Amino acid sequence: MEVNGPVTPVMLSFIERGIEEAEGQGAEALVIMLNTPGGDVELTRKIIETIIGSNVPVAVYVAPRGAFAASAGTFITLAGHVAAMAPATSIGAASPVSGQGEEIPETLRDKISNILQAEIEGLAQRRGEKAVEWAREAVSEARAATAEEALELGVIDFIANDLDDLLRQMDGFSVTLHDRQEVTLQTADAATAELPMTPIEQFLHTITNPNIAFILLTLGINGILFELSSPGGYAAGVVGVICLLLAFYSLGVLDVNYTGLLFIALAFILFVIDIKAPTHGVLTVGGIVSFILGSLLLFNSPFYAVSRSLVIGVGLGTGAFFAFVVAKAVLVQRRPATTGAEGLVGALATARTDLSPTGTVYLKGEWWEAEADETPIEAGEQVRVKSVDGFRVRVTRK
């Protein structure tokens, strides 16, 4: 089974299902091809418990080339009955980080670090002193290792070019299951069966991609703002709420920096204010800057972040749209009124009686009392409205 992306509830349920199916089919072993930047500590602990408690040997294989088992991925790899890596992969950097973007106070950081060191030492214990020392430093000093270094330290059991190579090397390897039962693997000629994610698992896993989460957040806020600005259609509001709920699910799973969220919220507030009280684009420019900064700060982990090109593209696109709306709002405000008394100023009317200087005119389908600035104006002549005073208009010759 291939397990990619951050540690999420979907990953946990997928691994649990994989182990259940492997046990049910009497599999010789379950191979988890892992590529993860890490994630939530509690979810990681549950995954470790699931792997350790498996009745089927579990091999955690960091693959393909270029993959990594960072942070929580280090713990998951060490929890496997067999640990392996493909060439050009890496493991480590398991130091604790805050989920809110701020620095962890030193005392609290020491407590968390000590707990995690104890846990990772327990997982690495059977691999020798060098592996234990490296695992301890992976937490305390964010130490990382290449596949070759990990093999030399005893952190992993094999370096395998692909799955077939791994199965060949695993053949004859002895592992101890949770009930202290020793099992010798026979995998050289074993048939393999891939376990894919279900459509629902795949969907939920896809939206936890930081880029997808960012797009959903942007679409959600835009949809709700459009609905509030022109209520009645409901479509934009419904789509906006759905996107926002999916975004909240993704952000709840990922390691989010709430300062970034505040910057994004500020950006949309500035956009809306600039529409309601146009400042000739000043607030829109500020909104674009705030949006881009917030998007770049949105996720804490150095291993997963929103694409910079996507951030800049969406930021400029959103800013350009709101700038267009602001420009139209300014244009409408400058346009002469077309309704009410103000809408009559400048309109043409026809004198129905001689204006000397008072009389009546026919204006936009209505009879109006009129007073002329210039006299005499004969009946039938066209005049232009200069001002409106109650039910009387002041006119001048066209």
Dig out the tokens for 85 from the structure.
């890596």
Q: Which pLDDT score, from 0 to 100, does residue 101 have? A: 42
Does residue 254 fall inside a structural domain? Answer: yes
Residues 11 and 154 in one domain: yes
Residues 348 and 218 in one domain: no
Residues 150 and 238 in one domain: no
Q: Which pLDDT score, from 0 to 100, does residue 347 have? A: 87
Does residue 202 fall inside a structural domain? Answer: no
Q: Which pLDDT score, from 0 to 100, does residue 194 have? A: 95
List, in order, residues 6 or more apart from 237 with CB less than 8 Å away. 223, 224, 226, 227, 228, 231
Angle (CA) 70 72 75, round 5°: 100
Which of 51, 33, 32, 44 lies closest to 6, judged by CA? 44
List, in order, residues 6 or more apart from 234 with CB less than 8 Å away. 227
Which of 12, 131, 39 lies closest to 94, judged by CA? 39
Would you please indicate which residues are annotated as catalytic (active-site) residues?
A: 71, 111
Residues 255 and 307 in one domain: yes
Q: What is the DSSP string of 344-384?
A: GTT-EEEESS-BSSEEEEEETTEEEEEEESSS-B-TT-EEE
d(CA 11, CA 24): 20
> β-strands 144-146, 158-159: how paired?
unpaired
Q: Which pLDDT score, from 0 to 100, does residue 257 have? A: 79
Residues 321 and 348 in one domain: no
d(CA 397, CA 350): 10
Does residue 21 fall inside a structural domain? Answer: yes
For tokens 């684009």, the residue is 281
Does residue 376 fall inside a structural domain? Answer: yes
Which of 45, 56, 46, 44 lies closest to 18, judged by CA? 56
The answer to whether the pTM exceeds 0.75 is no
Residues 366 and 304 in one domain: no
Does residue 227 fall inside a structural domain? Answer: yes
- Provide the b/e sequence for 299-333 (b: ≥16 CB within 10 Å): bbbebbbbeeeebeebbeebbeebbebbeeebeee
Q: Which pLDDT score, from 0 to 100, does residue 334 have? A: 58
Single-letter residue type at 113? S
Q: Which pLDDT score, from 0 to 100, does residue 145 have? A: 96
For tokens 């694409």, the residue is 307
Each residue's pLDDT expressed in tens, for the chain with a length of 398 residues? 999 988 888 999 999 999 999 999 999 999 999 999 888 888 999 999 999 999 999 999 999 999 999 989 999 999 999 999 999 999 998 776 654 444 455 666 677 788 889 999 999 999 999 999 999 999 988 899 999 999 999 999 999 999 999 999 999 999 999 867 899 999 998 999 999 999 999 998 888 888 898 899 888 888 887 777 666 667 878 888 999 899 888 887 777 778 888 888 888 888 778 766 666 667 878 888 888 888 888 876 655 667 788 888 888 887 777 777 666 655 655 565 555 566 678 888 998 988 888 889 898 888 889 988 877 888 888 888 888 887 888 888 87
Q: Which pLDDT score, from 0 to 100, does residue 181 have? A: 84
Give how many domains the chain has, as a whole number. 3
Q: Which pLDDT score, from 0 to 100, does residue 100 have? A: 43
Dig out the tokens for 223 from the structure.
């949809």
Q: Which domain holds residue 272?
A: 207-334
Which DSSP letter does residue 242 get?
Answer: H
- The CATH number that applies at residue 193 is 3.90.226.10
Q: How many CA atoms lie within 13 A of 262 on its CB side?
A: 5
Does residue 347 fall inside a structural domain? Answer: yes
- The CATH number that applies at residue 367 is 2.40.50.140
Residues 310 and 371 in one domain: no
Does residue 316 fall inside a structural domain? Answer: yes
Residues 177 and 45 in one domain: yes
